[in-house]
Amino acid sequence: MRKRAAVLLVLLGVVAAGGANAPAKGGEQEVYGLLTAVRGSALARLDPVTLEPLARTRVQLGRLNGFAYDDWHGYLALDDGYRLRIVGLSQLAPRATLRLGTADPTALAWLSWDTIVVVRRHRVLAVDWMLRKVRTRATFSGDVVAQARGDDELVLLLAPSGSLGPARLLVVRPTGATRIVSLPGIAAGTEWTTDQPPTGKTQVSGLALDAEHGTAYVTSGGAVVEVPLRGTPVSHLLHGRFAKSISGRWESAAWLGNGRLAVAGSVSADGTTSTPTGLAVVDTRSWSVVASRPTTSFVVRWGELALTAGVTLDGLGQRQGSAVAAVDRTGAERWTALAGVGSGFQAVTAAHGYVTVDGNRLAVLDLGTGRVLATRDAPLPFVLSLRTHDTG
C-alpha cells in the first residue's frame, strides 16, 4: 500500500460508505461547491462555514454525477455523463477534456497519477487522461449499492440488477483490472411484487475498507463478511446486542482502525416508518460488540472517531432526529450536539461537519468540539468536501 493520503470527495447528501476521513494536518482543507449557473452549474471555492463563494473565479460545468481528486497535484476529475473533465483547483482552470460517450457515471477513483478509473453502468474504464485514451475496459453485472476507496483500489458492493439477492464485491485496481468476490450470507438490492400498487422490500448492506491492511468489511443484520482483497472471504456473527434483521434495512459502516469497526442502520416494516437499529462498535479480533447507541441510524468516520446521527420516521412522514455525536473506538462519547433535531451528516471535511436539521436546514459543526458554528436554510449549494483518507 502507498503511504500517502488519498483525498476523496463527497457530494452534499451523499457520503460514500466506508470513507475514512481524518482531520487535516495544518488546518482545514479547502471546500468547493456547485453553484447554479446559466449553463447548468459552476465550480467555485466556498467559505467552509457560510458556504458562500470566496471569489468570482469559477469553472462552468454541466451536469455533475461523479468526481475524484488527486491530492499530490491538486486536480479534480469530474464526469457529467458525457465527458471526463480535469480541473486544476489552485487556479480553478480546466486542464483536459475526454469524451467517453453517454452513460450515467456510478463511481470515479484517481488511483494513479495518469490513470483514472471510471465506472459507468456495468462498465469499468481505466482512462489515461494525459494521453486522452481508454487503456482497459471490463464489464460486470449488478447494481452498485455502496462504494469505498483506498490508495490502491476501488471497492464496489453489488446487488443483483432489479432484484434482492446475493451480494458481491467488485475490486478494481489502478490498472482497471477487476475481481469479483462472492459474499456468503449477505443479501442486497430491491425487489417488487406485482400487486397494484406494487410493494417492495429492500436491503442496503454496510461497507467499510481497512485500506492499510487491504481488507473490506460488509455488514448485514448482525453478520459481517471479512474480505481480504487478495484472499478468501470469511463470515462472522457478532456477539452482543444487535438488532434483528427485518424487511427493509439500510446499513452504513466505518473502519475506525486498531481492529474496530462501527456499524449503524435503520429498518422499516412497511415503507412509511423508519427506526434506527443503533450503533455497534465491533472488536474484529473477538467479533464482539463492545459498545452500542440505540438511537443511531448512520455512521461515518472522522479520524479515529465515529460520527453518528439518527432519524425516526412515523407513519405520517414526520421526522424526529436524534443527537449528533462523536464516539471513539471504545464507544465512549467525545461530544454531542443538536439534541433531538440532527438527522444525518450531509458532508464531512477535515474540520467541519454539515448536518441536516429538522429536515430542511443545515448546521455547520466544529468536529473537534461539536460546537454549532452556523445554520443555513435551504436551498443549499452542492458541496464538494475534500476528505483526507486516513489508513490508520
pLDDT of residue 356: 83
Classify the C-alpha dihedral 66-71-48-341 as positive or negative.
Answer: positive
Residue 219's closest CA among 231, 229, 227? 227
For cell 460488540, what's the residue? 289
Nine-digit cell string for 13: 447528501
Give the residue numbers spanning the domain of 193: 6-389
Q: Is residue 160 part of a domain?
A: yes
- Between the ranges 56-70, 161-175, 336-350, where is the mean pLDDT highest? 161-175
Q: Is residue 1 part of a domain?
A: no
Q: Is residue 265 part of a domain?
A: yes
Q: Could you count the other beta carbons within 10 Å of the beta carbon of residue 178? A: 19
Distance between CA 73 and CA 20 in Å, rounded?
Answer: 21
Bridge partner list, 335 = 326
Asked if 135 and 127 count as a contact pair (C-beta separation under 8 A), the reply is yes
Nine-digit cell string for 21: 476521513
Predicted TM-score (pTM) of the model is 0.83
Domain count across the chain? 1
Task: State pLDDT tens for residues 117-156.
Answer: 999 989 999 999 999 999 999 999 999 999 998 888 999 9
CATH number at residue 237: 2.130.10.10
CB contact set of 136 (below 8 Å; sequence gap of 6+) = 125, 126, 175, 176, 177
Distance between CA 80 and CA 347 in Å, rounded?
Answer: 20
Residue 289's closest CA among 251, 254, 262? 262
Phi, psi of 217 (to 5 degrees): -130, 130
Q: Is residue 128 part of a domain?
A: yes
Asked whether the predicted pLDDT for residue 241 surpasses 60, the reply is no
Task: State pLDDT tens for residues 273-317.
Answer: 788 889 999 999 999 999 988 889 999 999 999 999 988 877 666
The b-or-e profile of 84-110 (16+ CB within 10 A means b, else e) is bbbbebeebeeeeebebeebebbbbbb
For cell 465506472, what's the residue? 119
